[in-house]
Structure 1
Amino acid sequence: MNILILGSGGREYTLAWKIAQSVDCDNLFVAPGNAGTGQIAKNVDINVNDFDAIASLVIDENIELVVVGPEDPLVNGIRNYFQQHEQLKNISFIGPDKTGAQLEGSKDFSKAFMEKHNVPTAKSKTFTVETLPEGLAYLDTCSMPIVLKADGLAAGKGVLICQSLQEAKDSLTTMLADKQFGAASEKVLIEEYLDGIELSVFVLTDGENYVLLPEAKDYKRIGENDTGLNTGGMGAVSPVSFADDAFLQKVKSKVINTTVAGLKKEGIDYKGFIFIGLMNVDGEPYVIEYNVRMGDPETQVVFPRIKNDIVDLFTAAAEGNLKNYKLEIADEYATTVVLVAGGYPGSYAKGNEITGLADTNDALVIHAGTKQDDYKVLTNGGRVIAVTGMANTLEEALKKSYTAVNQIKWQDMYFRKDIGKDILALRID
């Protein structure tokens, strides 16, 4: 089988690494890919939103399975494009259509969906620049801290947690009147703050049935002890010790089952991933957000724990055959530490040479923002490399990750040194 992955980050590298192990994978393409995917697949320099060029590639290379990594092309309707194209409509495809992708593409849409289908979530109200005065007045009735969320896609940076009323009013004004996040903040949700422990749960569904993938916890803030600006993710851990069987049963019954049933009831033919951002509040699950693809860096700890042939799994999902599918999960812990360019998530340099990659023998080195320049690997993004360690204990997995991290070098490299330490401190592990 010839397979195409769309995307260029650590998530896509991990998917390529896993797909390349399949007995069913004959030729693997990644568009546009990075320096790492170029070592295990064929990179094709096509933008993920250039649907015509993607179509030509799929037809020319006789591609039979397409796996979409990032959210942008899904929100922009790439599945619809395939469904309406005579030569593409029967190709196996992992990712929802444009309507289903609104679960991530519009916070307002997803919140309305949750409320309609009784999915537990925080209370919220949505405001626009026209209703800004009402939004400011509404904040006077809210308890602090409060959460402000840009409605649209903002690269993981459109969520603000405001500690004071004045901060909340200033931030709401900046988001709406000053268009802080561009079109993404034409609508802003004011949402109740939930006090609990955050984690992510991942589902692959064929539209009716689903498999529950390993859960994970990621670390969004740039600074240690969860301080500083939000990023795309600085590390992740799987499994999560505070997500025990009793809690996950509640997640299935109160969140996943109602979500999948709600999509079917709405007439949305959803074949792909549902990434559910959750808050564990005193043992009860509340949905913070939906995403319509796998997380990054969560993929880097979730997929190494899956034992199944991943092409077999994807094909079953795309063809509607997940009923009775048995997923095999390794008991080992997986931890990933993300290495970023100095200055990220603000401005940062590109083109620095990365050394030490060949010295990392006991961990999986995952390329993200990298490019190949002759025999050199150079930085080409904010999040550059992720390093995943696996072991029977969380401590040993972290040791493997950080041992490998310390082998890798480039100018102004930065990483967090406290990934997983909060879970270790719980002593539930």
Structure 2
Amino acid sequence: MNVLIIGSGAREHALAWKLSQSEYAEKIFVAPGNAGTSVFHTNASIDIHDFEELAKFATDFNIMMVVVGSENALVEGIHDYFQETEYLKHILVVGPKKAGALLEGSKDFCKSFLQRYNIPTARYQTFTEDNYRDAVEYLRHHSYPVVLKADGLAAGKGVIIAQNFDEAIDTLESMLRNQKFGKAGSKVVIEEFLVGIEVSVFILTDGREYVLLPEAKDYKRIGEGDTGLNTGGMGAISPVPFVDDVFMQKVKERVIEPTIKGLQAENIDYTGFLFIGLMNVNGEPYVIEYNVRLGDPETEAILPRIKSDLFELFLALHDHKLGSFQLEVDPRTAATVFLVSGGYPEGFDKGKEISGLDRVDADTLVFHAGTKRVDDKILSNGGRVIAVTALGENLEAALAKANAAAETINWSDRYYRRDIGFDLQRLPTA
């Protein structure tokens, strides 16, 4: 069966790598892909927003499964497009329809959904430019720090933690009045700051049954010690030491099961991954956000730990047999470190030649993100450029291997955090 993966990052490279291990995946195409996906798979130079062209490609190349990595395509309704087009509706699309994608596409919708189904989350209010003065008064009397979120998609950068009133007002003005995030910031969700440790939980669901995937913890800040601006992700660790059976039982009962019941209650047809961003507050799970696809860089940490055939898991999704699927997981620790362009997440240069890829240890995985191939050279082509993942018997061993690989790969002005997992090393193992 031929598979089309939609996206161009390290997440899509990891999905292609994992699916290629299945005997059932005959040909794997990635649209638009990157230099890494072009090595063993076929890239299709198609804009992920061009559904008509993607549909033509799917027909021309006998695609039977579409795996949507990009949240933008899901929010714009790619699943709906395939389902509503007669000659495409037989294709299995892994990713929710537009109604389900709103869980990520609108922070306001997400928060109201959580409230409706009594799922633990931070207290919040939503504001627009029309009630800007109300937002100012709300912030004037709020405790600090406080979290401000652009309502729509902002490439992982639309969440700002303001430490004081002045910083909060500056952020509010930049979002609502100066349109820092464009239409994504036409609404701003202001919510209380939760003190705890973040963890990302993932399920694959058909809207009724689900398979729980390995959890991970990612690191968003650009600077070591979790300082500086938010990014799309600088690294990830899986498993997470504090996620024991007791904590996960709370997550299942208080978060996952009410979420699925909520999807059913609202007649939301949901077929795909659901990423649940959680805060562990004194052992209690609170939902920070939903994403309607796998996370990046978490994908690069969790997929190497999944021993089961990913293609078979997707078939179980299609056949509504997730309840009986037994997922096999590698008990070892995976550590992912992202190499980024100098200046990211703000201004950065592209087109820098990357060296050292051929010197990385064979048992360390290299997933491309912002790269392109020109003749026999691999060049940087984005802010986040390369993710390296290593497996080890413990966190320290995995990190040592991942950091060694990161040091081996180089280009002008490349940067990576050397402290991924620093906070987890101080925690007891579950």
TM-score tier, shorter chain, comes to over 0.9
- Structure 2 CA distance for aligned equivalents of residues 169 and 410 of structure 1: 39
**RMSD, matched Cα:** 0.9
Match of 1:369 in 2: 370
Structure 1's unaligned 5+ residue stretches are none
- Structure 1 CA distance for aligned equivalents of residues 36 and 312 of structure 2: 24
For each residue in 1:276-295, what CA deviation from the matched residue of structure 2 results, as whole angstroms up to 9, or x when unmatched? 11000000000000000000
Q: Which stretch shows the higher mean deviation, 380-389 or 312-321? A: 312-321
Are the aligned partners of 1:206 and 1:319 in contact in 2 as well (CA < 8 Å)?
Answer: no
Match of 2:118 in 1: 118
- Tell me the CA shift for residue 94 of structure 1: 0.3
- Tell me the CA shift for residue 324 of structure 1: 1.4
- Structure 2 CA distance for aligned equivalents of residues 270 and 157 of structure 1: 26
- Tell me the CA shift for residue 427 of structure 1: 3.9
Are the aligned partners of 1:156 and 1:231 in contact in 2 as well (CA < 8 Å)?
Answer: yes
Match of 1:34 in 2: 34
- Structure 1 CA distance for aligned equivalents of residues 366 and 174 of structure 2: 39
Whether 2:222 is the aligned partner of 1:239: answer no
- Structure 1 CA distance for aligned equivalents of residues 59 and 12 of structure 2: 21
Match of 2:313 in 1: 313
- Tell me the CA shift for residue 182 of structure 1: 0.9
- 3-state DSSP of counterpart to 1:351: coil
Q: What is the 5 A alignment of 1:194-343?
A: 194-343=194-343
Match of 1:401 in 2: 402
Are the aligned partners of 1:272 and 1:318 in contact in 2 as well (CA < 8 Å)?
Answer: no
For each residue in 1:101-149, what CA deviation from the matched residue of structure 2 results, as whole angstroms up to 9, or x when unmatched? 0000000011111100111100100000010001111112211111001
Are the aligned partners of 1:206 and 1:321 in contact in 2 as well (CA < 8 Å)?
Answer: no
Q: Extract structure 1 runs of 4+ deviating beyond 3 A.
A: none
Are the aligned partners of 1:354 and 1:377 in contact in 2 as well (CA < 8 Å)?
Answer: yes
Amino acid of the structure 2 residue aligned with 1:371? K
Match of 1:385 in 2: 386
Match of 2:417 in 1: 416
- 3-state DSSP of counterpart to 1:101: helix
Whether 2:349 is the aligned partner of 1:349: answer yes
- Tell me the CA shift for residue 226 of structure 1: 0.4
- Structure 2 CA distance for aligned equivalents of residues 267 and 425 of structure 1: 44
- Structure 2 CA distance for aligned equivalents of residues 176 and 353 of structure 1: 39
Are the aligned partners of 1:363 and 1:389 in contact in 2 as well (CA < 8 Å)?
Answer: yes
Whether 2:22 is the aligned partner of 1:22: answer yes
Are the aligned partners of 1:92 and 1:319 in contact in 2 as well (CA < 8 Å)?
Answer: no
- 3-state DSSP of counterpart to 1:288: strand
Structure 2's unaligned 5+ residue stretches are none
- Structure 2 CA distance for aligned equivalents of residues 328 and 37 of structure 1: 25
- Tell me the CA shift for residue 152 of structure 1: 0.5
Q: TM-score, normalised by structure 2?
A: 0.99
- Structure 2 CA distance for aligned equivalents of residues 174 and 15 of structure 1: 36
Q: Which stretch shows the higher mean deviation, 187-196 or 353-362? A: 353-362
- 3-state DSSP of counterpart to 2:329: coil
- Tell me the CA shift for residue 220 of structure 1: 0.2
Q: TM-score, normalised by structure 1?
A: 0.99
- Tell me the CA shift for residue 425 of structure 1: 1.8
- Structure 1 CA distance for aligned equivalents of residues 338 and 229 of structure 2: 15
Are the aligned partners of 2:242 and 2:428 in contact in 1 as well (CA < 8 Å)?
Answer: no
Q: What is the 5 A alignment of 1:18-167?
A: 18-167=18-167
Q: Which stretch shows the higher mean deviation, 240-249 or 169-178? A: 169-178
- Structure 2 CA distance for aligned equivalents of residues 174 and 45 of structure 1: 35
Are the aligned partners of 1:117 and 1:262 in contact in 2 as well (CA < 8 Å)?
Answer: yes
For each residue in 1:291-315, what CA deviation from the matched residue of structure 2 results, as whole angstroms up to 9, or x when unmatched? 0000000000010000111001012
Amino acid of the structure 1 residue aligned with 2:425? L
Match of 1:3 in 2: 3
Aligned residue pairs total 429
- Tell me the CA shift for residue 428 of structure 1: 3.4
For each residue in 1:307-332, what CA deviation from the matched residue of structure 2 results, as whole angstroms up to 9, or x when unmatched? 11100101211332212111111101
Amino acid of the structure 2 residue aligned with 1:410? W
